Structure 1
Amino acid sequence: MSTSEPEASWSSEDRATPDSLLHSAPGSGVVPEDLVLASGRDVTPATLEWARKKLEREGPNCIERLLP
Structure 2
Amino acid sequence: MSTSQPEASRPSDDRATPDSLLHSAPGVVAPEDLVLAAGRDITPANLEWARRKLDAEGALAVEKLLP
TM-score (structure 2 length as normaliser): 0.68
Which one is further off, 11-20 or 50-59? 11-20
> 1:66 Cα deviation (Å)?
1.2
Whichever of the two has the greater Rg, that structure is 1
Deviation at 1:3, TM superposition (A): 3.3
TM norm structure 1 = 0.67
Say which structure is richer in helix.
Answer: 1
- Root mean square deviation, CA, Å: 2.2
Q: Provide the C-alpha distance between the structure 2 equivalents of 1:26 and 1:16, rounded to a whole number of angstroms.
A: 22
- Structural mapping, 1:50-61, within 5 Å: 50-61=49-60
Aligned to 1:57, the other structure's residue is in SS state helix
Q: Note the residue ranges of structure 2 that are not aligned, 5 or more in a row.
A: none
Q: Which stretches of structure 1, 4 residues or more, deviate above 6 A after TM superposition? A: none
Counterpart secondary structure, 2:51: helix
What is the total number of aligned residue pairs between the two structures? 64
